[in-house]
Amino acid sequence: MGAGIVGRLLAAGHDVIGWNRTRARAEELIRRSDRDRARYIRYLFNIDWADPTPYDLIINTRSLTTAAAVERRARPSRGSWSDRAWAARLVPCQAYIFTPAGQTSHMDSMADPHTDLASNAAAQLQVLEACRRHNPGVKVVFTSTRQIYGRPQYLPVDERHPVRPVDINGVHKFAGEGYHLLYHAVYGVRASILRLTNTYGPGMRIRDARQNFLGIWIRYLVEKQPIPVFGGQQVRDFNFVDDVVEALLLAATRPEADGQVFNLGAPDSATLEQLAALLVEMTPGASYQVVPFPPERQAIEIGVYRSDFSLIQRTLGWSPQVPLRAGLRRTLDYYVQNFRDYVE
């Protein structure tokens, strides 16, 4: 998702400065990019090797107009949000801040809640405090999750649904939301929040299931291994990454989004078994197998979920443009061509 935002903004001629949590992740982005994009990302992904704060992107749209200018002007700048002097130098220059990074694994959040707290709550507070002190007019877009709702009490789930997360990740993401809304209301730091559902597409992590289950399913398909489907009757909706990037950019640039919380979603939801069957249909020689839930996963499973995304439709005019089948086709084709870049 972060690389998608970078790509859109570079194509439009904007000045982009980016962070990644680890050296390996930045090198992965460089390795898998095309030649020109890799040249820019090598300059733009500025990494603090020791800092656990997982901020991917800071975007400034005020000054530069060409990609060549980006290459000349953007330079590595190691730093930490906890370093107030560094933040004081950086934050005043920015027009928009996107924070798509974070710890996304629900299972990891249960196994290591303190790391999840640092990533999804404490880090949000650090960046907002830096904005309050040094650039209260900046616009911040926070990527939250539908996981905060927990097990749905009604369908489709709208933004008024009770918040009852079933895992640590959902608790911390909701705390992150609260920080953004408070800093917007009290300090005037403009903020928008998007509650994402299952985002997929080229560029997602497929090495394991730590980003989402669909990533590891893609790996199984390419390697001709059966897909293990836990349960199979859970319902989810899915958004192609290009549609999510468009929603993030709309939230950043439209004043109607200031102080608002929006669900994302899609009209073509599916059970996990239906999704697995569709992927197998599209992949010669592939197969899937429905298997029992591991107890630790069953304990935090939310069941059937469908999102009501009518608020963002009415307010910002956003609707998903890529149907599920078409998005899966593009995703599969991409990983067939680029598989080694994502698993080695």
Domain membership of residue 183 (yes or no) is: yes
How many Å from the N-terminal Cα to the C-terminal Cα in the chain?
21
Encode pLDDT of 86-128 as tens digits.
677 778 878 888 888 777 888 899 999 998 898 889 888 988 9
Tokens standing for residue 268: 């073509």
Domain membership of residue 73 (yes or no) is: no
Q: Please report which residue ranges of the chain form alpha helices under DSSP H.
A: 2-11, 23-32, 35-44, 67-73, 84-90, 106-111, 113-117, 123-134, 168-187, 213-222, 241-253, 272-282, 295-298, 310-316, 324-343
pLDDT of residue 123: 84
Domain membership of residue 203 (yes or no) is: yes
pLDDT of residue 139: 95
pLDDT of residue 54: 34
pLDDT of residue 212: 85
Domain membership of residue 248 (yes or no) is: yes
Low-confidence ranges of the chain (pLDDT < 70): 10, 15-83, 86
Residue 205 amino acid letter: R
Domain membership of residue 296 (yes or no) is: no
pLDDT of residue 83: 66
Please give the tally of structural domains in the chain: 1
pLDDT of residue 207: 87
Domain membership of residue 95 (yes or no) is: no
Strands 15-18 and 57-60: antiparallel
Q: Is 91 helix (H, G, I), strand (E, B) or coil?
A: helix
Residue 304 amino acid letter: V
Domain membership of residue 65 (yes or no) is: no
- What's the CA gap between 251 and 244, in Å, rounded? 11
Domain hosting residue 254, numbered range = 102-207+238-267+306-343
Q: In this structure, what CATH number is given to the domain that contains residue 120? A: 3.40.50.720
Domain membership of residue 97 (yes or no) is: no
